[in-house]
Structure 1
Amino acid sequence: MGVNCQSSALSPDHLLACIREAAHSLGFAHVGVADVDLASAEPGLLAWLAQGFHGEMAYMAAHGLRRARPAELVPGTVRVLTVRMDYLPAATPADWRARELRRLTEPGEAVISLYARGRDYHKVVRGRLQKLADTIAGWVGPFGHRVFTDSAPVLEAELAGRSGQGWRGKHTLVLSRTAGSTFFLGEIYIDFALPLTEPEQGHCGHCHACLDACPTGAITAPYRLDARRCISYLTIEHAGSIPEDLRPRMGNRIYGCDDCQLVCPWNKFARRNALPDFDERHGLGHAELLTLWQWSEEEFLRRTEGSPIRRIGHARWLRNLAVALGNALRVAAPAQVPAVRAALQQHLAHPDPIVREHVQWALRQREADDPAGGSARA
């Protein structure tokens, strides 16, 4: 039975119940409410930035401590509504983690992070958050607010943890006992008070599966991530040349990396979402490297329209694919080598110097005079 939200004077508790019901109808799985006092998170943020772990993501530092001070980022903010939206497609099989791990052992496969195979989550979450805000305005009248979803200097994980969405796992992602970590977060900064929701205690215990699984050692210690080594950062946020010592460790991952989530025991509880927005597009869940390598820039733009992948651009897409093809070339059966080499050579004269450099590196992974790959150089 639904909540009666037509009263002209809803109590704070009643209003929160109405908000939760409206959020659920919009595809959000959970709603929490956080206070704006994040002072205890400031030292950790400053230390992380001081170590340079944010790499080239200058926006992480650009707003200073305003990231940890919602009332300074959006003056008048009194509470932060947090939401969770699960992103596994409805048709995801029960053994999805085992399937994804198997794909990592197939060098010719092109592995794209699960969240990026459908529609751009920024558009999906932000649009539905704004609808939720409009619905709230229908109950309380015009109110000061701002909607966020991974789009501004917001301490999302901190706010999510404080509002009961879950706890910060050792891989630094938010974990839920009922939903694992395969979800997006969003926030609405609001200028009126709602009852705070209880935070959840951590439940990682002695498990260190995520640290052991990270291909590049980006999780340098529990709860500490050096983004400069993270494959998600390298394939998406990093615009330049990928460090050569990290390229072999990237394997066939061309956009993002799910390894720490695939091995996390809590993701046996990962939830599906009935929204079609996150359904796989263009076969990106089982694509092959050589197929994607042949996409022209025009085809890349057409096939990634409405996708988060599009924002990296065609040149960076080719850079990532070149690394994966180089890794595939290193271990390819002799009969497969000519096709991979011929494909790489198509872009030896690419106008982008970064693409050219990565193609040259890829070709060196299996020298022409060594078909067995015995003297390939990294």
Structure 2
Amino acid sequence: MQELKAALERQALAEGFAKMRVTRPDAIPEAMGRLRAFLAEGQHGQMDWMAERAHWRGDPAALWPEARAVVMLAETYTPEADPRAATLLHDRGAISVYAQGKDYHDLVKRRLKRLGRWLIEEARGRGSAAEIKVFVDTAPVMEKPLAQAAGLGWQGKHTNLLARDLGNWFFLGAIFTTLELPPDAPETSHCGRCTACLDACPTQAFPAPYQLDARRCISYLTIEHRGPVAPELRGLLGNRIYGCDDCLAACPWNKFAATARDIGYAARQGSPPLAELAALDDTAFRARFAGSPIKRIGRDRMVRNVLYAIGNSDDPTLAPAARARLADPDPAVAEAARWALARLGIAIVDNPDMPEP
């Protein structure tokens, strides 16, 4: 199996992955306890699916008992410039690097399936039967602990995976297989005394190193959180309308970041004008973000985020864009419009048609 594993790694690199390592499904016994503590503290916020599928998420062996190995793969999406520069463009929205191009779920899964089919055929040619299942982010798989157990990298103090030869700008994919592929040695943390990622967080979402309270994380608030964001956190969002890259961008290991190899990750969204986004209806939203991971949050949540950014812009010329949303059918959007105008110091004339928040 060592020869098959070596051949698989060569094929993975040829397919466009940046790195491959292997672990066993039972290699993260501590994961369930950490997950339960996270859930017990309520730090998952509204992400109820984490609790509902915790029995699978915390134990990869339970997800597919027939699996004997987990192939973990890294796919880079390194930006060409520091994404934090976009947070200074107050009349425009800052979008997380990973959402700038095509939906990574589609790109990574397509590559995983090709590699998985190759593995099945290669194993058959060597006299072994193989079954596989591929996973990218949406399944109840704890990719980051598995990746560390495989030696792909380690979970930094910001809880994201990073590697000495890749930085932290990469996606993770997993191939579960019935083949007994030899596992690699796990990786250990190389963060040392550095706290750059923790210090960079605008909302202080890290109660301690290696711990994240999603309820304060800008990525969670702008993507997963439904309804109004807590008023004390809105001003800290700045102009971030989808995700946040501050902790990732601050990591010193990024000096070793590998260049993105798939042109699909090239930036298409850029930093769009807030006034344009505030005017989107559902049809225009879907058209503008077709093929992008942004599409999944829906028009209402995006426009809510845009209105918070307008309120943080200190730019009264954006007031008309907010005023136009005062009677929005979505209560969270209408309330965000009122908040934005108040932040800009614009008086609101009572409108009997305006819905209550």
1:61 matches 2:46: no
Give the structure 2 partner of residue 301 of structure 1. Answer: 286
State the Cα distance separating 1:123 from its structure 2 match: 0.7
Amino acid in the other structure paired with 1:27: G
Provide the secondary structure at the position in 1 that maps to 2:229: coil
Q: Does 1:136 align with 2:93?
A: no
Aligned to 1:245: 232
Once residues 348 and 368 of structure 1 are traced to their aligned partners in structure 2, the CA distance between those partners, rounded to angstroms, is 13
Query: Does the Cα contact within 8 Å between 1:167 and 1:202 map onto a contact in 2?
Result: yes
The structure 1 residue matched to 2:24, chosen from 20, 25, 35, is 35
1:73 Cα shift?
0.7
Aligned to 2:165: 178
* Unaligned 5+ runs, structure 1: 1-11, 371-378
Aligned 8 A contact 2:280 2:303 in 1: no
Preserved contact between residue 95 and residue 271 of structure 2 (Cα < 8 Å): no
Offset at residue 59 of structure 1 (A): 1.3
- Name 1:365's counterpart in structure 2: 343
One-letter code of the match for 1:79? A
Shift of 1:194: 0.7
Query: Offset of 1:369 from its aligned partner?
Result: 6.1
> CA deviation digits over 1:184-203, x for unaligned, max 9?
00101111211111222211
The answer as to whether partners of 2:77 and 2:261 remain within 8 angstroms in 1 is no
CA distance in 2, matches of 1:64, 1:348: 40
Contact in 2 for aligned 1:33/1:196 (Cα 8 Å)? yes
Cα distance in 2, alignment partners of residues 83 and 368 from structure 1: 51
The secondary structure found in structure 2 opposite 1:246 is: helix
Greater mean deviation of Cα atoms: 246-255 or 185-194 = 185-194
Deviations 1:328-348 (A, max 9, x none): 1xx23xxxx1x3111111111
Matches of residues 252-331 of structure 1 in structure 2 within 5 Å?
252-281=239-268, 284-328=269-313, 331=314
Corresponding residue for residue 206 of structure 2 = 219
Give me the CA root mean square deviation.
1.5
* Contact 1:213–1:259 (CA under 8 A) maintained in structure 2: yes
- Does the CA-based 8 Å contact 1:168-1:223 persist in structure 2? yes
Q: Which amino acid is the alignment partner of residue 103 of structure 1?
A: A
Question: 2: CA distance between counterparts of 1:289 and 1:303?
Answer: 14
- What percent of counterpart residues are identical? 43
Matched AA of 1:172: T
Partner of 2:355: none
| Alignment-derived partner of residue 356 in structure 1 | 334
Distance of 2:73 and 2:337 partners within structure 1:
42
Q: Among 28, 36, 43, which residue is 1:46 paired with?
A: 36
Matched, 1:147 2:134: yes
- Distance in 1 separating the partners of 2:347 and 2:25: 63
CA contact (8 A) 1:70 1:189 kept: no
Normalising by structure 2, what TM-score? 0.93
Aligned residue pairs: how many? 343
The 2-side partners of 1:139 and 1:105 are apart by: 51
Q: Distance in 1 between matches of 2:139 and 2:254?
A: 27
TM-score by length of 1: 0.88
Tell me how far 1:75 sits from its aligned partner: 2.1
How many Å apart are 1:160 and its aligned residue?
Answer: 0.5
Give the whole-Å Cα distance in 2 for the aligned partners of 1:293 and 1:80. Answer: 44
Give per-residue Cα distances to partners, 1:275-326, cap 9 Å, x unaligned: 1111111xx2232222322333322211211100000011111001010001
Structure 2 partner of 1:6? none
Q: Distance in 2 between matches of 1:202 and 1:63?
A: 28
Mean Cα deviation higher: 293-302 or 48-57: 293-302
The answer to whether the Cα contact below 8 Å between 2:84 and 2:245 also exists between their aligned partners in 1 is: no
1:101 to 81, 84, 87: 84
1:53-99 C-alpha deviation (Å, 9 max, x unpaired)? 1111111111223213222111201111100000126xx2xxx12xx
Whether contact under 8 Å (1:76, 1:144) holds in the other structure is: no
> Does structure 2 conserve the Cα–Cα contact (< 8 Å) formed by 1:289 and 1:325?
yes
1:19 maps onto 2:8 in alignment: yes
Separation of aligned partners in 2, 1:346 and 1:77: 54
Cα deviation 1:1-28 (Å, max 9, x = unaligned): xxxxxxxxxxx11111111111112211
Read off the aligned partner of 1:39 and give its amino acid letter: P
CA contact (8 A) 2:44 2:213 kept: yes
Q: Deviation string for 1:117-138 (max 9, x for gaps)?
A: 1010111111111111100111
Give me the whole-angstrom Cα distance separating, in 2, the residues matched to 1:285 and 1:199: 37
Greater Cα offset, 143-152 or 158-167: 143-152
